[in-house]
Amino acid sequence: MVCIAISAMVGALLIGCNSNNEQPSTAVDNITVDDVKIALTSTDSGVKLSWQRVKGVSFSVYKSLSRYGEYVPVDDNISNGKYTDNAHYCYYRVVAHNRNGETLKIFPDIGEETEMFGNNVYVFSPDDDVAKVKNDFSDIKARMEHAEFDSFRYSFLLKQGEYANDIGIDVGYYTTVAGLGSNPTDTSIRSLSSKNRDTGGGTNINALVNFWRGAENIQVRSNMTWATSQGAYLRAVDIQGDLSLSDGSGYASGGLLADARVSGQVKSGTQQQWLSRNCEWSSWSGNLWNMCFSGVKNPPAGDYPRMKYTVEETSTIREKPFLTFDEIKGYRIAIPAYRQNAIGCSWTGSEGRIEKYIEQDDIYFARADRDSADTVNAAISSGKSVVFAPGVYTFDKTIKVDNNDTVLLGLGIATITPTNGNACLTVTASGVTIAGLLFDAGEKKSDALVYIGTENSTASKANLHDCFFRVGGNYQSAAADTSLVIHADNTTCDNIWMWRADHGNGVGWNVNDGITGAKIYGNNVTAYALMAEHYKGHNVEWYGENGKLFFYQSEIAYDVLNQSDWMDGLRRGYSSLMVDDSVNSFTASGLGVYSNFHNSGIVLDSAITAPAKQGINISHIVTVRLNGNGAIMNAVNDYGGAAGGNQGGLVAHYTKQFEID
């Protein structure tokens, strides 16, 4: 990799609230070395470093082509507090010396990427020092392995090239890994994994709460273990070996593999439910409750539920946008092309993966340590798309997207929390993409966390990828009546997890208040891997026409206090998925609904309720009672065997479309 000696870069980088201004260069009597702050400003032709002058102190500047590359001296004995370089995307180390040449202080390394993304994005190059890279991966994994409700967020961005064989990444909470090439094969590492963790004092080793992590756009040169549950993703990966979706005998509970190629076998092991969409592999092994496949080459043989449920083609999909790096054009957001009736990966054929790019000048790089809702809204109103660096953004106002084709892209499971009972986000434009963000309810109740379209807007054709919603677990109390409301027609949801917390901080029936996961009013809404859990009412309510749902995973509320307080009219309990009586056309398949009631005597009459009309097609349902309490009596309306109770076993499958009354 080389630094860019610039003339091709157009315009200064738009970084957060702009780069730090140059510090004054006049020496001041009371300024000491410890008071000095190094500022970096990007220009059309390169960068400027500036800092306060200190009497009797000189400074040297060292430069490296990458963050952990070799730093070589480029300017010595600087006394005016300024250094200019005609290059982009290099790193600089400033050292202060006294009159005798003795080192007084070595300042933290600085570069445009650290100013752009902040300290929690680690941009690596194959030229970096291997030991230092391994140390970063190891330190952050140790910090994040058990940090389920921590505020730390991290992103590893790997520039194109082949990394050393002894570099591997084990991914923990709130950590994402991504290659910066145009295709997964542009960036190659030896190993990548997500492993079991101890959740019970050495007696409960599993991946059942391995949430909030992801990896994408990268090649892995070995067998791979990716043991995760909800709120995670593995997409656009090229695995040169086998892929295991669980870690040994420890259970895992759901996830998404999308747009991926595996040279060997995919082994589901103890993974309980899973969606594989638009993938290619040599073979598939194993099954448990709800294994679903859409647009996959070489799916496993057999009939649901014992082997699989398959849809031959994915009817319509545009893969998740992703960040790329080009040595001339800098950082860009790649927008994949829409695919119709798609089979296999988007990047292994001849049709071309990328439709267009959003150039760096049209991107606002937000950071939680310096941005507010006002600065983000101003950037969006000016026509910018937004990349959210890892962090927790506490906003007292709603982010409003009113420009068509805007992209909001989160790195490191960037998290938005409302602090004033506001929504996190409202979209009133068309063609908007929301990806890689966690929307976390605040302590003051919100009506809803995210609105995609509103009743009065003409918004349409939104795309949501790897969007996660949380009500509780992170605060002493948290509340949002509804997590996601979709009014926009022709919206696509691709890996959505909505979770009213069943564990963590401030959890209880009257504490973390969340009534409904999603309310879908838009027509022609398609959802792949829609997951919703533990809401006090319906987990999902569907009101729009021509909806399509493929792979649904849901646990109904654990903490129902008693049956009399949990009634939907005359029916016992609130169905997980409710299709409104007004709907005439709706298709769903590959649905799993599970109970784990804390209190005895709680019954859910129907996992799913829907109007019994010719245009309502719901099939391939599994219901499971996870413990010894209560029961789910029917799969859909009054049809399907019971899971639990006197009438049924632990697991019930219903494989046909329910009968029309």
Please give the DSSP secondary-structure letter assigned to residue 636.
B
From residue 325, give the alpha-carbon distance in Å to each of 180, 182, 334, 335.
Answer: 5, 9, 10, 14
Nearest C-alpha neighbor of 479 from the set 440, 452, 437: 440
Q: In the prediction, which pLDDT does 199 show? A: 74
Q: In the prediction, which pLDDT does 308 show? A: 66
Q: In the prediction, which pLDDT does 311 show? A: 86
Q: In the prediction, which pLDDT does 367 show? A: 98
Q: In the prediction, which pLDDT does 352 show? A: 81
Question: If you average pLDDT over every residue of the chain, what do you get?
Answer: 92
In three-state secondary structure terms, 174 is: coil
Q: In the prediction, which pLDDT does 628 show? A: 85
pLDDT digits (tens, 9 = 90+) for 513-572: 999 999 999 999 999 999 999 999 999 999 999 999 999 999 999 999 999 999 999 999
**pTM attached to this predicted model:** 0.94
From residue 142, give the alpha-carbon distance in Å to each of 90, 146, 232, 312, 609.
Answer: 29, 8, 19, 41, 45
Task: Say which of 443, 533, 555, 659 is annotated catalytic.
Answer: 555
The ranges of the chain with pLDDT < 50 are: 1-2, 4-25, 660-661
pLDDT digits (tens, 9 = 90+) for 410-450: 999 999 999 999 999 999 999 999 999 999 999 999 999 99
Q: In the prediction, which pLDDT does 21 show? A: 39
Distance CA 215, CA 238 (A): 11
Known active-site residue 555: yes
Q: In the prediction, which pLDDT does 204 show? A: 81
Q: Where would I find the H helices in 81-167?
A: 112-117, 130-144
Region for 632 from its dihedrals, namely left if φ exceeds 0, alpha if ψ lies in -120 to 50, beta otherwise: beta
pLDDT digits (tens, 9 = 90+) for 14-43: 343 333 334 444 555 678 999 999 999 999
